[in-house]
Amino acid sequence: MILKQASWSMIGSIYGFVVGFFLKIYLINAVGTEGYGKYIIAMGVISTITAFIALSIPQVLLRFLPAYIEKKEYEKASNLASFSLQFLLGIGSIVALLVFLFHNQISLIFHDHDKLLSLVIMFSAFYIPLSLYQSIMSASYRSLLKIREIILYGTFVMITLRALSVFIIYSFATSIYYFIFIELITQLIVLYLLTKKFDTSKFTFFKPFPMKEIIQDKQIIDYGKKMYFYALIGIAGGYTISLIMSLYLPASDIGIYAILGTLGGLTAFLLNNLNSVFAPVISKYHAAGEIEKLGMLFKDTTFVINIVSAPFIVLLILFSHDILSLYGHHVSDYTLALAVLILGSYYNLFVGNSGMLLLMGGWENDEIKIKIGNTIFLILSSLIFISEFGLIAAVWISTVSSFLVNSFHVFFIKKRFGFTPWEKYSLFIFIATIGVIYYFGFRTFPYKYSIFDYIWVGLLVPLAYWLPFYKKIMAIIKTIKENK
């Protein structure tokens, strides 16, 4: 079941990345890196606020709903789901109104009297309740292992509608705030579909506000407090670099960093989607004490995400100059910065779902310790180096942070569970990919690619990765078929 659901996540992730890649090129060429940078600043503010008020409730749902459903405690599941959705919609709407009213004051933190940034922050306020609503719906679908529905509506429908709207509207528009309207409308459509299609046979979201039942559940409250503390650390660590860059660097640099982050984070969208499948299964296996099965699953999922994405990382490195030039001629000067980010994000991929395994496997305290240390590192290094060295400092800080966090993940997983994310196949892939990143990413090659080069290299690289592991890949495919 896990691999079958993961295959849906992979398909949706690849579709989302490909469409999003061309969409972002089109959008940035229409609004410029400065306009896009102001959108990124606003999204950093809104995302920070949203994470702060979410109280880690989606993580609580992922932890408890699968267990309630497994035990057929549907009343408890309905109480938790109803409280979560109603509470977050209420508080999210109040905070969105405050941001809408005080958008001018918020924008002054970053830039003096910037009318466009102020408008972007004002309109972005409506993301807050919608994002909270979507986080609850996604966690609920994942708890039921209904990944296909999330991919269908939350990826295919949403991304397709957004892309078509952007290509139509930005054929004549040039301001970034039209993109915000597009995102809000498409998100409303997707939320309507997710709500309408939700299977309420196990639990519902519309019980009268069951506040008393949830507050009296000490296990939920204790776990929620711990996860909220974890979320606060995540807020500080997750947005430190972008927020400090917003204080010291021009909006155009913020836009370029966002472009590099999107490309350098090629692996992140695959890993995040696999985490969405993996989280409830970890909870289930851990509760049943099936640690050996969990270890085998961990190694297989790590191999899957490596073998799928490593060839694309290599192609990204080989064609990095040409790809960056699509966003603007001046952006192609940042190939080294992109290689640095890719190095860090690939190591994140190499260790697989390690953070999620600690979090959902009962070792939240280890994950919190790692996040605290990483947050301290990010804040101190960002304050010291970004104002002095600018964009290149930000990419190195991000990569070093990735190596530190993921290395500690592996250490604690080995200590707590007795296994690592790797088997021999994953190690071979890692060595080959790191070699290519270093050789082609950190050196300058004046070679000009032709259309024919794109074709034969684009075919050769995936084959070079997939043919040596043919038997392993077929074994995984067989497992997927057996679990249909």
- Condensed to tens digits (0 to 9), the pLDDT of residues 410-454 reads 888 888 777 777 777 778 888 888 888 888 877 666 567 778 888
Q: What is the rounded end-to-end Cα distance, in angstroms, of the chain?
A: 7
What would you measure as the largest C-alpha separation in the chain, in angstroms?
A: 67
Helix pair 218-248, 2-54: axis angle to 10 deg? 70
Of residues 266 and 277, the one with the higher pLDDT is: 266
User: Residue 136: which of 65, 184, 201 has the closest Cα?
Assistant: 65
Residue with tokens 């699509």: 326
96, HSE (Cβ side, Cα atoms, 13 Å): 17
Instruction: Say if residue 326 is exposed, middle or buried (CB neighbours under 10 Å; 0-12, 13-18, 19+).
Output: middle
Rounded to an integer, what distance in angstroms lies between the CA atom of residue 273 and that of residue 156? 14
Radius of gyration of the chain (CA): 22
pTM: 0.72
Rounded to an integer, what distance in angstroms lies between the CA atom of residue 228 and that of residue 95? 18
- pLDDT of 192 > 50? The answer is yes
Instruction: Say if residue 439 is exposed, middle or buried (CB neighbours under 10 Å; 0-12, 13-18, 19+).
Output: exposed
> pLDDT, tens digit, for every residue of 123-157?
999 999 999 999 999 888 888 877 778 888 888 89
Residue 279 pLDDT level (bands cut at 50, 70, 90): low
Rounded to an integer, what distance in angstroms lies between the CA atom of residue 315 and that of residue 469? 19
Residue 478 pLDDT level (bands cut at 50, 70, 90): low
For the record, the structure tokens of 196 come out as 């309408």
Rounded to an integer, what distance in angstroms lies between the CA atom of residue 158 and that of residue 330? 31
Rounded to an integer, what distance in angstroms lies between the CA atom of residue 365 and that of residue 128? 29
